[in-house]
C-alpha cells in the first residue's frame, strides 16, 4: 500500500504531463490517460527517463466505454485508486480571444455542448464511475482542473484582472465543474477523500498560448499539491498555489 496510484486524464502533453513529472517527488505511480496511444507511449518514455514510475492507458473522456475500461484497469491491477486528476479539457476557441466562439450571445450551440461535454459532463461521469475505487484508498484525492476564469465573483467585478477575459462556453463549463467540486466534497465530507478545484495559473501550453506568463515547469504545482494533500488538508476548495480563489 505504500505507493500511491494516480490517474491523470490528458497526461500526454501540457499540464497533465507536467503534473505527472511533479508527482515524482511524492513517489506516486502515475498512469496517464491519452487519447492517442502512440503519443501516450512517447510521453511515458519521457516520464520514465525523468525517473517517474509511469504507465499509459488509452483514454478518451468523451467515450463512456472508456470509464469502465479505466475502472477495470485500476481494479484488476491495484484494487483501488488513490489520486484522480481530472485534467483533460478543451478551450472551445483560442485564448485570449473574441468573436462568436467566445460570446455569450453568439456562441454556436454545438460548441457550447461540446465544451460542456468534455469539461463538465464527462468529468462528472468518469469521477462517479471511479469513485468506488477511490473509496478503497486510505487517502483519496480528486483534483478538478478548473480555472480562474470559472470565478463568477471575479467575472462580475470590473476591477478584477479577468473582467475582460470572457470566453462563455469555457468559463461556464469550469464554473459548473467548481459546483461539482463543492457538491462532491460535501457528499464525501465524512470520508478520507478530498475533492478540490485547481487553477494552475495562465500557463504556456497549447491551450494557454504563447502570451501566457507562466512557464510549463511551474504549471503543475497546484495540481500536484492538491493531489498529495495531507490528511488535515482542505476539501471543497478552489486554489492556486496554496491560496484560495473566490468562487
Ligand X SMILES: NC(=O)c1ccc[n+]([C@@H]2O[C@H](COP(=O)([O-])OP(=O)(O)OC[C@H]3O[C@@H](n4cnc5c(N)ncnc54)[C@H](OP(=O)(O)O)[C@@H]3O)[C@@H](O)[C@H]2O)c1
Nearer to ligand X (CB atom), residue 71 or residue 191:
71
In angstroms, the CA 90 to CA 56 distance is 20
Determine if 35 is a binding residue for ligand X (CB under 6 A). Answer: yes
Question: Cβ 178 to ligand X, closest distance in Å?
Answer: 12
Determine if 218 is a binding residue for ligand X (CB under 6 A). Answer: no
Nearer to ligand X (CB atom), residue 10 or residue 140:
10
* Three-class DSSP category at 93: coil
Instruction: Report the site for ligand X in 67-126 (rule: CB under 6 A).
Output: 87-90, 118
Determine if 9 is a binding residue for ligand X (CB under 6 A). Answer: yes
Determine if 130 is a binding residue for ligand X (CB under 6 A). Answer: no
Q: Of 60, 97, 160, 176, which one interacts with ligand X (CB under 6 A)?
A: 60
Question: Cβ 40 to ligand X, closest distance in Å?
Answer: 9
Q: Please state whether the peptide bond connecting residue 49 to the residue before it is cis, i.e. omega within 30 degrees of 0.
A: no
Cell reading at 68: 469502465
Determine if 237 is a binding residue for ligand X (CB under 6 A). Answer: no
In angstroms, the CA 5 to CA 227 distance is 11
Instruction: Report the site for ligand X in 145-204 (rule: CB under 6 A).
Output: 145, 147, 199-200, 202-203
Secondary-structure percent of the chain, ordered helix, strand, coil, rounded to 5: 45, 15, 40
Q: Of 92, 93, 140, 208, which one interacts with ligand X (CB under 6 A)?
A: 208
In the chain, the N- to C-terminal Cα span, in Å, equals 36
Task: Calculate the dihedral angle through the C-alpha atoms of 85, 30, 190, 179, rounding to the nearest 10 degrees.
Answer: 0
In angstroms, the CA 189 to CA 229 distance is 15
**Using CB under 6 A as the criterion, which residues of the chain lie in contact with ligand X when the complex forms?**
9-10, 12-16, 35-36, 59-62, 87-90, 118, 145, 147, 199-200, 202-203, 205-208, 212
Amino acid at each position: 500500500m505504500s505507493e500511491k496510484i494516480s490517474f491523470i486524464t490528458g497526461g500526454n502533453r501540457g499540464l497533465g504531463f507536467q503534473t505527472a513529472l511533479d508527482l515524482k517527488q511524492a513517489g506516486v505511480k502515475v498512469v496517464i490517460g491519452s487519447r492517442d496511444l502512440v503519443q501516450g507511449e512517447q510521453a511515458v518514455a519521457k516520464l520514465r527517463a525523468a525517473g517517474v514510475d509511469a504507465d499509459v492507458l488509452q483514454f478518451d473522456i468523451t467515450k463512456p466505454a472508456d470509464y469502465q475500461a479505466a475502472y477495470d484497469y485500476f481494479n484488476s491491477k491495484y484494487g483501488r485508486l488513490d489520486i484522480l486528476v481530472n485534467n483533460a479539457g478543451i478551450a472551445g476557441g483560442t485564448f485570449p480571444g473574441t468573436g462568436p466562439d467566445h460570446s455569450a450571445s453568439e456562441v454556436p450551440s454545438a460548441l457550447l455542448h461540446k465544451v460542456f461535454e468534455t469539461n463538465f459532463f464527462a468529468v462528472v461521469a468518469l469521477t462517479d464511475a471511479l469513485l468506488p475505487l477511490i473509496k478503497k484508498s486510505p487517502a483519496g484525492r480528486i483534483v478538478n482542473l478548473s480555472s480562474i476564469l470559472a470565478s463568477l465573483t471575479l467575472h462580475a467585478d470590473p476591477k478584477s484582472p479577468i473582467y475582460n477575459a470572457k470566453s462563455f462556453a469555457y468559463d461556464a463549463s469550469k464554473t459548473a465543474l467548481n459546483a461539482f467540486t463543492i457538491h462532491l466534497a460535501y457528499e464525501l465530507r465524512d470520508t478520507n477523500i478530498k475533492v478540490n478545484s485547481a487553477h494552475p495559473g495562465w500557463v504556456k501550453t497549447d491551450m494557454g498560448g504563447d502570451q501566457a506568463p507562466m512557464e510549463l515547469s511551474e504549471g503543475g504545482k497546484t495540481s500536484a499539491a492538491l493531489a498529495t494533500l495531507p490528511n488535515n488538508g482542505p476539501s471543497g476548495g478552489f486554489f492556486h498555489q496554496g491560496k484560495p480563489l473566490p468562487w
